[in-house]
Structure 1
């Protein structure tokens, strides 16, 4: 916090600092006169009628009464992450979108409307990069109409937590009644470190280009895989499927599976799943190591993956393999239309 020459805290932000990263301290008021202080760091996304809204790196919006402020200042953008390859959030967003290709898509200005029969929100949401060519309200109406015509809910995908990302647009959707349903981290790391991971069972991993019934039997993201599931999973620039054969107790399903999509310098890891009775054997690491080695053979050098904010077990694994959070993405839903079920 900033101090004046007399040593007192000072408020050095105003409504003219919208869009900048700020750090503020506010006085809590529990009602009994014993309030403490709370610090908040994030992007100043609004300052209206005596209330500030600061959007944190995770996409969470914090509303703060101007009257409770005791200090505030503009701070530099979040420092560049030293772990993992250098990349902008837009580059990673486009690469990740290519790994979950929709069955059907349409352009809305620079936005992309994506549909795949409801399988995974990543292939059934508006990728809101750039200018939609319409005022925001008009663009959202077009999104609703396009998805309603296909019997699907309207979702918009946005990113936060990186320099010049979409905190302000997140707040704009929230103010229009859209609800943030999913938050996930995009993690990046060095591909060679994954390939070199100590995985004694890596030789058990079978790699192939085709998603078969056995692989799908282990995959937990779709209860009844239809043709759109196979099309999305098989889509992408260069797709590999990994499986560790199961035993008699598995009913024919693999003990572990994984998927990797290679796109230029990037290798994306997804659908890494292990049978409950086979966990803590290092099979997830073995699957990722085998896929990473194949991606290195194709010329990739950098790795990415997506993990939901509450999946602590996966986060621990990826941390051990050298991954770190790059930014977050969110799916915002218009609850005026809901199907019976939709995947992440």
Structure 2
């Protein structure tokens, strides 16, 4: 069984921030505000100092990089019980949901979907960017986060109307980390999401990844149902915490 610590650090390696500094076994990350993962302190393991001092270091790092202090913790983990008394509260109102389920599953789904040709490229196309970040030219932070890692694969399905579906796959800790799966609304419920998972999974298997990792909002019932059907099971959950004084600003 893969430990929570190993899995979280593997995910962080596959989703690199522009700035990533160690705080003991914690990781202080910043990327211009693009995504919570790349702009939070990964609070897994021993920060090398007591918890109040570690939280102060998180706030100082965040303010230095002009982002709001944010802590990523394992749900029910060893530090969560102490955070409220230290003035931190869960961010239950985040747009992507208050909790994220970390799923493990096979690198290649058992039944690829015929009729969809998935191409995995070494570089993202303008259509891939448009579908995953909403424009054909990403910001510097978006580009660095989504192209960071080695290797990274950019899966897409195109048709006469342009890019219909896209997905990102990256290797970290010997695992395939899959993110940014997106399908245009008019092409949903056609098997395209499953085809993209099969395509990026085959790419990951060729690069030696024995298993696949996904991070999905615990509120996203449709996505969780899809991934359960593809053989994924929940490993653990994480959530974000913020200092109450920063949330009140």
Counterpart position of 2:16: 101
The CA distance in 2 between the partners of 1:218 and 1:298, in whole Å, is 25
Instruction: Report the RMSD for the aligned CA atoms in angstroms.
Output: 2.2
Structure 1 segments, 4+ long, off by >6 Å, are 221-224
The CA distance in 2 between the partners of 1:273 and 1:300, in whole Å, is 22
The CA distance in 1 between the partners of 2:172 and 2:128, in whole Å, is 22
Over residues 227-271 of structure 1, what are the superposed CA-to-partner deviations in whole Å (9 max), with x where a residue is unaligned? 1111111112311001111443xxx4x111001112353111111
Is residue 152–residue 338 contact of structure 1 (8 Å, CA) maintained in 2?
no
SS of 1:277's equivalent in the other structure is helix
Structure (1/2) with the larger helix percentage: 2
Instruction: For structure 2, list consecutive stretches of 5 or more residues without a partner in the other structure.
Output: 92-97
Distance 1:198 1:180, change over 3 A: same
When Rg is computed on C-alpha atoms for both structures, the one with the higher figure is 1
The CA distance in 2 between the partners of 1:119 and 1:339, in whole Å, is 21
Is residue 44–residue 74 contact of structure 2 (8 Å, CA) maintained in 1?
no
Structure with more contact order per residue of length (Cα contacts < 8 Å, sep ≥ 6):
2
TM-score (normalised: structure 2) = 0.90
Which of 187, 191, 198 is 1:289 aligned to?
A: 198
Distance 1:264 1:102, change over 3 A: closer
272-281 or 178-187: which moved more? 178-187
SS of 2:7's equivalent in the other structure is helix
Give yes or no for the alignment of 1:169 onto 2:83. no
101-110 or 324-333: which moved more? 101-110
Count of equivalent residues: 243
Give yes or no for the alignment of 1:153 onto 2:68. yes
TM-score (normalised: structure 1) = 0.66
Which of 190, 194, 209 is 2:106 aligned to?
A: 190
The CA distance in 2 between the partners of 1:313 and 1:177, in whole Å, is 35
Deviation of 1:107 (Å):
2.1
Give yes or no for the alignment of 1:121 onto 2:31. no
Distance 1:283 1:224, change over 3 A: same
Which of 316, 319, 344 is 2:225 aligned to?
A: 316
Instruction: For structure 1, list consecutive stretches of 5 or more residues without a partner in the other structure.
Output: 1-85
Is residue 119–residue 222 contact of structure 1 (8 Å, CA) maintained in 2?
no
Give yes or no for the alignment of 1:336 onto 2:245. yes
SS of 1:219's equivalent in the other structure is helix
The CA distance in 2 between the partners of 1:339 and 1:233, in whole Å, is 31
Deviation of 1:134 (Å):
2.1
Which of 137, 140, 143 is 1:227 aligned to?
A: 140
